[in-house]
Amino acid sequence: MSNKQEKKNKEFVKFAEQTAHDAYIFGYPLVLMDVTKCTQIGDGITINTFHNENKFPDASFKNVVSPNVDTLYSDAWLNLSHGPVILSVPQITKCYYVMELLDAWTNVFASIGTRTTGIGAGDFAIIGPNWNGSLNNLPPVVRSPTNMAWIIGRIYSDSYPNPDETVREYQNKFKLTPSNVWGVPSVNESLPPTEYESLSPTGSLSPPDIVAKLKPQDFFNRLNMLMVDNPPAPDDAIAMLRFREISIVAGRLFDLDHFSSEVENAIESGYNNALNEIGTSTLEPTKQSARKTNYWSLPLENVARFGTDYLQRAIVAYLIFGLNLPEDAVYANSQFDSEGNPLSGKNKYTICFRREEMPPVRAFWSLTMYNTKQQFVANSISRYALGSRDIEKLDDKLHFDEDGSLTLYLQNECPGDPIEKSNWLPAPNGENENYGTIIMRLYWPLDEVLFGKWIPPAIKKVQ
């Protein structure tokens, strides 16, 4: 082999490693979306049909990362490849609600609810990227960039842990209707089989855990097959040209044996580096900028409309899967105390909201605790969050200080003081066990949040 050829081969090996790394980060949200869908289908959920969660999740819930106990979910997986699906929502006057529509890459392409469409009943035709039929007999059209889509409906319930019956009544009125039933012929009235519709038994593994266990060949094959019905966006064309060089192409079989051993090792190395990068990433800002935000991150740019910010998209999918548009909800998150040190189960912390600095929202706010797997922290009183709902409770409600401020206690041990116990958010246990991400949900935030003029107070270690 000539020196020139040897140099060219070395350059391609390096290129293949970086490209496999970038392709994993690029494709992670799509594969995670599909795996999440498949695990739910395995639990008996059907396509193009609403599934209503009529009770709040607890610490045993593993299906979705960073779940919440503020809203009840009504979600549906859509297959739009054979025609539009009509979403019908009832008049909802007594509760705040939002229904976000995500494409297969986790971008929010529409939001329906109290903020956007009001409290009245309505019908919306959701149409996939390849539909060219008549729109004459359809209600207002919402276009999805991909044939796989996910509707995540959230209805706020101010009665925890037992949801109000009104919320359940609203849930039962959400409907999805195939276009042919609506009077618009579909290309094919039956749904086609979906690639990778089933998964091997996964036990108690969460979708991120399942994805993390996929080998490079399985991951990239799944990605290639999924991109047939769920094409990358036009702005992804440059990235796709690069990925093509290592056979990451919609519909193509990805086979590691096709490459030399050096390139195969490089692809596996890049893949593993990206897997580790996502698994250890946070949405936290740098130390310098973090001091200005009390070590909280308030992701406002490119969130739910990611564009070509592929790393942000992957990290959000890993940490807060199904994130809303900022106008609907901002999820501030932190893993650090006021000194920039990681939150640890061996310490006690407080977070204090001064009277004039309570979270500025039109709907509600909450603070939720997660472990390192982004699941709820099991505890003796089954409490996973505190927030505005707890201010209005008749019993065991939050207690304010004499000056009108609100202090919450973040620790593993139950406080002995009754007032502190009412304001206690149970934390992970263990001398060396760090927290996961603490998330503050701000639903229908005011402009102070959206323009960065309000930030959560710092989490302070109790000395």
Structural domain total, the chain? 3
Tell me how far the alpha carbon of residue 340 is from its chain's centroid.
Answer: 25
Does 409 fall in a domain? yes
pLDDT given for residue 134 in this prediction: 81
pLDDT given for residue 80 in this prediction: 94
Distance of CA 392 to CAs 136, 160, 360, 365, 457, Å? Answer: 48, 12, 17, 13, 22
- Is the predicted pLDDT of residue 54 greater than 90, yes or no? no
**Domain check: are 426 and 340 in the same one?**
yes
Nearest of 119, 140, 116, 143 to residue 131 by alpha carbon = 143
Nearest of 320, 318, 371, 368 to residue 343 by alpha carbon = 371
In the predicted model, what is the mean pLDDT of residues 327-346?
92
Does 63 fall in a domain? yes
The CA distance from 263 to 17, in Å, is 8
Residue 228 belongs to domain spanning:
3-38+200-279
- Is the predicted pLDDT of residue 385 greater than 90, yes or no? yes
**Domain check: are 260 and 358 in the same one?**
no
- Is the predicted pLDDT of residue 340 greater than 70, yes or no? yes
**Domain check: are 74 and 175 in the same one?**
yes
How close are the terminal C-alpha atoms of the chain, in Å? 67
Does 214 fall in a domain? yes
Query: Picking from 45-54, 144-153, 232-241, 354-363, which range would have the lowest pLDDT averaged per residue?
Result: 45-54
% residues pLDDT > 70 (the chain): 91
Q: Is the separation of the CB atoms in 123 and 87 below 8 Å?
A: yes
Indicate the pLDDT class of residue 431, thresholds 50, 70 and 90: low
Nearest of 306, 310, 360, 357 to residue 330 by alpha carbon = 360
pLDDT given for residue 184 in this prediction: 66
The CA distance from 448 to 114, in Å, is 20
**Amino acid identity, residue 369?**
M
Which residue is associated with the tokens 């201010």?
Answer: 391
Last residue of a domain, one of 257, 279, 301: 279
Does 173 fall in a domain? yes
Pairing of strands 349-353, 459-461: antiparallel
**Domain check: are 350 and 392 in the same one?**
yes
In the predicted model, what is the mean pLDDT of residues 421-450?
89
pLDDT given for residue 187 in this prediction: 52
pLDDT given for residue 197 in this prediction: 40
> Residue 160 maps to which CATH number?
2.60.40.1610
Query: Picking from 50-64, 186-200, 327-341, which range would have the lowest pLDDT averaged per residue?
Result: 186-200
Which residue would you say has higher pLDDT here, 186 or 59? Answer: 59
Query: Picking from 62-76, 105-119, 123-137, 176-190, which range would have the lowest pLDDT averaged per residue?
Result: 176-190
> Residue 382 maps to which CATH number?
2.60.120.600
Mean of the per-residue pLDDT values for the chain? 89
In the predicted model, what is the mean pLDDT of residues 90-103?
96
Kindly tell me the burial class for residue 432, based on how many C-beta atoms sit within 10 Å of its own C-beta (0-12, 13-18, 19 or more): exposed
Element (H, E) at 439: strand 438-445
What b/e readout covers 90-118, taking b as 16+ CB neighbours within 10 angstroms?
Answer: bebeebbbbbbbbbbbbbbbbbbbbbebe
- Angle at CA of residue 423, ends 285 and 388, nearest 5°: 70
Question: What SS3 class is residue 246?
Answer: coil
Indicate the pLDDT class of residue 201, thresholds 50, 70 and 90: very low
In eight-state DSSP terms, residue 51 is E
Indicate the pLDDT class of residue 193, thresholds 50, 70 and 90: very low
List, for residues 310-326, the tens digit of each pLDDT value: 999 999 899 888 889 99
Does 377 fall in a domain? yes
- Is the predicted pLDDT of residue 337 greater than 70, yes or no? yes
Element (H, E) at 85: strand 85-89
Question: What is the secondary structure of 114-176 as a DSSP string?
Answer: TTTT-SS-EEEEEE-TT--S--TTS-SEEE-SSSEEEEEEEEE-SS-SS--HHHHHHHTT-EE
The CA distance from 362 to 357, in Å, is 15
The CA distance from 455 to 345, in Å, is 24
Nearest of 250, 261, 257 to residue 221 by alpha carbon = 250
- Looking at the DSSP bridge assignments, the partners of residue 407 are 352
Query: Picking from 73-87, 180-194, 316-330, which range would have the lowest pLDDT averaged per residue?
Result: 180-194
User: Residue 90: is the preceding peptide bond cis (ω within 30°)?
Assistant: no
**Domain check: are 261 and 323 in the same one?**
no
Distance of CA 113 to CAs 117, 154, 173, 300, 308, Å? Answer: 5, 9, 14, 20, 27
- Is the predicted pLDDT of residue 423 greater than 80, yes or no? yes
**Amino acid identity, residue 453?**
K
Does 195 fall in a domain? no
Query: Picking from 92-101, 391-400, 448-457, which range would have the lowest pLDDT averaged per residue?
Result: 391-400
The CA distance from 429 to 296, in Å, is 22
In eight-state DSSP terms, residue 357 is G
**Domain check: are 292 and 440 in the same one?**
yes
Does 191 fall in a domain? no
Last residue of a domain, one of 235, 251, 279: 279
Question: What is the secondary structure of 402-425 as a DSSP string?
Answer: TTS-EEEEEESSPPSSHHHHHTEE
**Domain check: are 293 and 439 in the same one?**
yes
Which residues have CB under 8 Å from 138's CB, separation 6+? 84, 86, 125, 179, 182, 184
Q: Which two tokens stand for residue 60?
A: 């045993």
Does 188 fall in a domain? no
Largest Cα separation within the chain, whole Å, is: 82
**Domain check: are 327 and 443 in the same one?**
yes
Last residue of a domain, one of 182, 211, 243: 182
Nearest of 377, 367, 381 to residue 415 by alpha carbon = 381
